[in-house]
Amino acid sequence: MSVAAELVDYDDVLAAYEPVMGMEVHVELSTATKMFCGCANQFGAEPNTQVCPVCLGLPGSLPVLNEAAVESAIRIGLALNCQIAPWGRFARKNYFYPDQPKNYQISQYDEPIAVNGYLDVPLDDGTTWRVEIERAHMEEDTGKLTHLGSDTGRIAGATTSLADYNRAGVPLIEIVTKPIEGTGERAPEIARAYVTALRDLLRALDVSDVRMDQGSMRCDSNVSLKLKGAEEFGTRTETKNVNSLKSVEVAVRYEMRRQAAVLQAGGTVTQETRHFHEDGYTTAGRSKETAQDYRYFPEPDLEPIAPSDELVDRLRSTIPELPWLARKRIQQDWGISDEVMRDLVNAGAVELVAATVAHGASSEGARAWWGNFLVQKANESGVELDALPITPAQVAAVLKLVDDGKLSTKLARQVVEGVLAGEGEPEQVMNDRGLALVRDDSLIQAAVDEALAANPDIAEKIRGGKVQAAGAVVGAVMKATKGSADAARVRELVLAACGQG
Ligand code: ADP
Ligand code: MG
Ligand code: ZN
């Protein structure tokens, strides 16, 4: 398939057309249990170990609504400046596909919990773009199908399909924007910035782990083109499951260029879902179902949701400052450059550094630990920084041990490794591993005397004025004291012992 030949140059797209976009983002809530049953809601368990009659849709089972999920949904709505619906029913969305063992999905079809909001999205140039939110509604996630035997991993051509229902019934929020218009050439950038801002906001709300790579945040991007100045929107395509922030940008740009090619060849854009490929292009999927196909009707097994004003007010008081505004304030407090801040943000370190500072550490010290050594440790073990088994309080305690002169930075690393290995609190690790710096000169002196006695030739050289030879003796002492002596002090004592002090 010649993909590139069918594309119009980006500049030429913009000369003739205006893009219109709409983003649908699905977020899995990180509640302890699923939406309508008591099964654990946790990523990565053995397939089909977190299932029960309710989420397997066995006859006679009845759903029970998870209140924590409703509260998260309301908080998301409030953070997106939405109105919270005082009353709403769930609906059944009927379809037959093995990812949903009930053969219907419970969803807030036309009575969403939150409507009519907006998010002021920060852009790279320091300006903001207001993205209007149409609605945020609750639904349950489907199971996960894995198709084997086809080159693409898709069902077409597959010889075997595996179904894992651990994910079936996980609480999901779908956040849908109103059409995003007037962006011109910035459409791809704005799409990406919106999804980035939404991810950061949801993370700050602590309602989801928003991992696009693990599917806890998934984006479908709708794009259409209209002739410049035209009133009516063109036909949109919906590119499914765009799994990284970069891909959001790539998918929008690609669809603009592809649709322009279709239109300029005199064709019409087909309304369809499309699949995004990691190499940066989309291919046609199924043609879009219409609402009628799903035979929606009100879910008879659940009571309507009717959040009280008191509940909404209480939840409103838990909405944090927008994370990028909080970051700007923090960046000023810490006095660091945009680049340094960006690195910390990308590493997911900002909140951890801030918490470490709150435990009494200097921002410089806290930044150095989280931004370097611990990032490296997280990468080595393939986890997110905040999943490392060390707390900001513990990092602050390590920094204090260094400040107090009990640890060198090098020894502190070993202490941190001990903490990460589950050996206990920093001070305990330091003591158990015998890492504390030896402050006692008499102990160091004994090691110096021994090292000089063991290396008479070198001792002689130093006595003769070749002070650079002292390095070897210092090295021997450091080795003998397992690095717990202060190297500068060792050197002083070596030189003094050889009459060079
Ligand atoms: P569906 O469930 O059919 O995908 P939704 O209403 O959930 O429809 O989402 C459609 C998304 O696409 C919304 O974000 C909407 O604002 C946006 N949208 C609607 N019409 C167009 C269009 N012509 N071009 C681009 N985006 C559109
Ligand atoms: Mg949709
Ligand atoms: Zn269950």
Q: How far is CA 77 from CA 115, 116, 202, 307, in A?
A: 7, 9, 11, 13
- In this structure, of 147-161, 162-176, 300-314, 341-355, the range with the lowest mean pLDDT score is 147-161
22 Cα nearest atom in ligand 1: 14
Distance 24 CA to ligand 2 centre (A): 6
CA atoms within 13 A on the CB side of 110: 7
20 Cα nearest atom in ligand 1: 25
**258 in a structural domain:** yes
Q: Determine the pLDDT at residue 150.
A: 85
Ligand positioned closest to the Cα atom of 40: 3
178 Cα nearest atom in ligand 1: 16
Best substitution site from 23, 24, 292 to test ligand 1's pocket, by max atoms within 8 Å of Cβ? 24
Provide, rounded to the nearest whole percent, the portion of the chain with pLDDT above 90: 83
Q: Determine the pLDDT at residue 292.
A: 77
Ligand positioned closest to the Cα atom of 37: 3
Hey, what's the torsion of the CAs at 330, 333, 338, 343, to 10 degrees?
A: -60
Contacts of 75 (CB under 8 A, 6+ apart): 205, 207, 315, 318, 319
Nearest CA to ligand 1 atom 5: 176
Q: Determine the pLDDT at residue 185.
A: 97
177 Cα nearest atom in ligand 1: 14
Best substitution site from 236, 240, 290, 296 to test ligand 1's pocket, by max atoms within 8 Å of Cβ? 236
**469 in a structural domain:** yes
- Residue 26 sits in the same domain as residue 45: yes
Q: How far is CA 241 from CA 27, 101, 118, 244, 366, in A?
A: 12, 21, 23, 9, 37
- Residue 344 sits in the same domain as residue 486: no
Residues β-bridged to residue 93: 105
Give the model confidence (pLDDT) of 300-327 as tens digits: 999 999 999 999 999 999 999 999 999 9
**Total number of domains constituting the chain:** 3
Please determine, for residue 2, whether its predicted confidence score (pLDDT) is greater than 60. Answer: no
* Domain end position, chosen among 260, 288, 312: 312
- Residue 446 sits in the same domain as residue 429: no
**136 in a structural domain:** yes
Ligand positioned closest to the Cα atom of 101: 3
Q: Find the length of the chain.
A: 501
Q: Determine the pLDDT at residue 134.
A: 98
The SS3 of residue 254 is helix
- Residue 278 sits in the same domain as residue 338: no
Kindly state the average pLDDT of the residues 47-67. 97
Best substitution site from 222, 239, 288 to test ligand 1's pocket, by max atoms within 8 Å of Cβ? 222
* Domain end position, chosen among 282, 312, 342: 312
Who has greater pLDDT, 255 or 278? 255
Contacts of 441 (CB under 8 A, 6+ apart): 489, 493
Nearest CA to ligand 1 atom 17: 22
Distance 447 CA to ligand 2 centre (A): 73
The 3 state secondary structure assigned to 111-165 is: CCCEEEEEEEEECCCCCEEEEEEEEEEEEECCCEEEEECCCCCCCCCCCEEEEEC
- Residue 149 sits in the same domain as residue 196: yes
Distance 95 CA to ligand 3 centre (A): 20
Q: Residue 489 and residue 492: Cα distance in Å, rounded?
A: 5
Q: Give the other-Cβ count within 10 Å of 23's Cβ.
A: 24
- Residue 124 sits in the same domain as residue 258: yes
- Residue 329 sits in the same domain as residue 301: no
**318 in a structural domain:** no
Ligand positioned closest to the Cα atom of 102: 3
Distance 141 CA to ligand 3 centre (A): 12
Give the model confidence (pLDDT) of 448-457 as tens digits: 999 999 999 9
Per-residue pLDDT band for 244 (boundaries 50, 70, 90) equals: very high
Contact residues of ligand 1, CB 6 A cut-off: 20-24, 134, 176-179, 222-224, 233, 236, 238
Phi-psi region of 299 (alpha: psi -120 to 50; beta: other; left: phi over 0): beta
Q: Determine the pLDDT at residue 289.
A: 67
Q: Are the CB atoms for 291 and 53 separated by under 8 Å?
A: no
- Residue 55 sits in the same domain as residue 115: yes
Per-residue pLDDT band for 1 (boundaries 50, 70, 90) equals: very low
Nearest CA to ligand 1 atom 6: 176
Per-residue pLDDT band for 5 (boundaries 50, 70, 90) equals: low
**76 in a structural domain:** yes
- In this structure, of 244-248, 379-383, 441-445, the range with the lowest mean pLDDT score is 441-445
**352 in a structural domain:** yes
Q: What is the sign of the dihedral through the CA atoms of 59, 60, 61 and 63?
A: positive
Distance 322 CA to ligand 3 centre (A): 34
Average pLDDT, the chain: 93
- Residue 358 sits in the same domain as residue 454: no
Please determine, for residue 441, whether its predicted confidence score (pLDDT) is greater than 60. Answer: yes
Distance 467 CA to ligand 2 centre (A): 76
**421 in a structural domain:** yes
**317 in a structural domain:** no
Distance 244 CA to ligand 2 centre (A): 19
Question: For residue 479, what are its two tokens?
Answer: 């080795």
In terms of DSSP H, where are the helices of 221-292?
245-264
Distance 62 CA to ligand 3 centre (A): 10
Q: Residue 238 and residue 189: Cα distance in Å, rounded?
A: 18
Contacts of 155 (CB under 8 A, 6+ apart): 145, 147, 161
- Residue 63 sits in the same domain as residue 148: yes
Domain containing 473 equals 441-497
Q: What is the sign of the dihedral through the CA atoms of 97, 101, 103 and 108?
A: negative
Q: Residue 358 and residue 361: Cα distance in Å, rounded?
A: 7
Q: Are the CB atoms for 285 and 240 separated by under 8 Å?
A: yes
Distance 430 CA to ligand 1 centre (A): 58
- Residue 493 sits in the same domain as residue 381: no
Q: Give the other-Cβ count within 10 Å of 488's Cβ.
A: 8
Among 447, 453, 429, CA closest to 487: 447
CATH code of the domain covering residue 456:
1.10.10
* Main-chain dihedrals φ then ψ at residue 162, nearest 5 degrees: -110, 140
* Domain end position, chosen among 415, 433, 451: 433
Ligand positioned closest to the Cα atom of 26: 2
- Residue 298 sits in the same domain as residue 404: no
Q: Residue 21 and residue 131: Cα distance in Å, rounded?
A: 10
Please determine, for residue 290, whether its predicted confidence score (pLDDT) is greater than 80. Answer: no
Give the model confidence (pLDDT) of 8-31 as tens digits: 999 999 999 999 999 999 999 999
